[in-house]
Amino acid sequence: MNIDEVKEQAGPRQFNPNDDMPQEYRKAATRMLEFHANSEIMGAYLERPFIRKAPSLERKMAFSAKAQDEIGHGQMLYRAAESLGIKTREEMLDDLANGDGKFLNCFHYPMESYVETPMIAFFVDGAAMRRQATLKKSSWEPYAHAMDKICFEEGMHVKHGESILRELMSGSKKEQEMTQEAFEEWWPRILQFFGPTDDQSTHHDFAADVGLKTATNDTLRNAFLNTYMPKAKKYGLEIPDEPRIRDNGDGTYEVVEDDLDWDEFFTVSKNEYDGSIQQIDGRARAQEAVEWVRDMMDSQTTTGDGPTPQAAD
């Protein structure tokens, strides 16, 4: 099968690892899934410190569960990518630790204060849900199947983030002011979550032609605004003057895209931002710290040795 035949048969058809597919499709699907898997892993690393920093046992447990979910999502997606036969899971993890793997813009920035957590757990995860729901119809079948589980769990993550935002914005005046400041800092990054505008997107046309993606960046961004502008206002957040948001008067909104700092976005996407380097270094140190566990497991798998079963009492 050549790539033109794939484009013609995309749409309602899904492809699985046993199907005949051209190399261009396999490479495009691998790139897309690896990016998504990397983002799940780096998102977990961003929120992991709040397992300790969260102000209550309930919140600590919620962040612990969420971090586990995100790592699990990453592993599912690495396996779905690996089944395309281009890169192994280990190669993708090594690329991420070496700074060669790409991931979502929002996870390049440090998050230090608890008041920042709903910016990820509510707004970014809400944006992710908007995108991931469309991927349930992706033409790569293992990807679509993974999205069923991931979307279910991400829905709980959004509720967790909304709960934190509600609590902060009904708290003290100081908490409300700090949350507003965090919102103003994160708002442009959140709007850039969906990637560059359609006319600047490098890979969208091909991914759409072969059915890997089913919605454009601009369509998803506008749909997010239509849902989350009212929610931000509901909790008392003031929408920043920049970037400008057009109110179309019919319940729909659009961002003035020229107001977004696309130079910074592309610097971040190339892993050339200072925060990117810190995040990647953190991932590299974590991977190195458990290298001995993987080596031991690989050794036992190769030799057939392992723990001796204990006799039942």
Cα 144 to Cα 132: distance, rounded to the nearest angstrom: 9
- pLDDT (tens, 9 = 90+) of the chain, 313 residues, equals 556 655 555 555 688 888 888 899 999 999 999 999 999 999 999 999 999 999 999 999 999 999 999 999 999 999 999 999 999 999 999 999 889 999 999 999 999 999 999 999 999 999 999 999 999 999 999 999 999 999 999 999 999 999 999 999 999 999 999 999 999 999 999 999 999 887 777 667 788 888 898 889 999 999 999 999 999 999 999 999 999 999 999 999 999 988 999 999 999 888 877 767 777 777 777 777 777 777 787 777 666 665 554 444 4
8-state DSSP, 139: S
The pLDDT, as a whole number, for residue 271 is 83
Distance of CA 76 to the CA centre of its chain: 13
The pLDDT, as a whole number, for residue 1 is 57
Give 51's contacts (C-beta < 8 A, 6+ positions apart). 60, 63, 64, 67
Among 128, 290, 129, 106, which Cα is nearest to 185's?
106
Among 50, 21, 39, which Cα is nearest to 135's?
39
The tokens for 177 are 């002011």
pTM: 0.86
- For the chain, list the strands marked E by DSSP: 245-247, 253-255
Q: Residue 57: which H helix or E strand, with range? A: helix 57-82
Give 207's contacts (C-beta < 8 A, 6+ positions apart). 28, 32, 213
Q: At 255, give phi and psi (nearest 5°).
A: -90, 145
The pLDDT, as a whole number, for residue 281 is 76
* CATH code at 17-293: 1.20.1260.10
Start-end of H helices in 116-172: 117-118, 125-134, 141-169
The tokens for 265 are 């976005």
Give 66's contacts (C-beta < 8 A, 6+ positions apart). 44, 47, 121, 157, 160
36 with 76: CB under 8 angstroms?
no
Domain boundary assignment for the chain: 17-293
The pLDDT, as a whole number, for residue 313 is 40
109 with 192: CB under 8 angstroms?
no
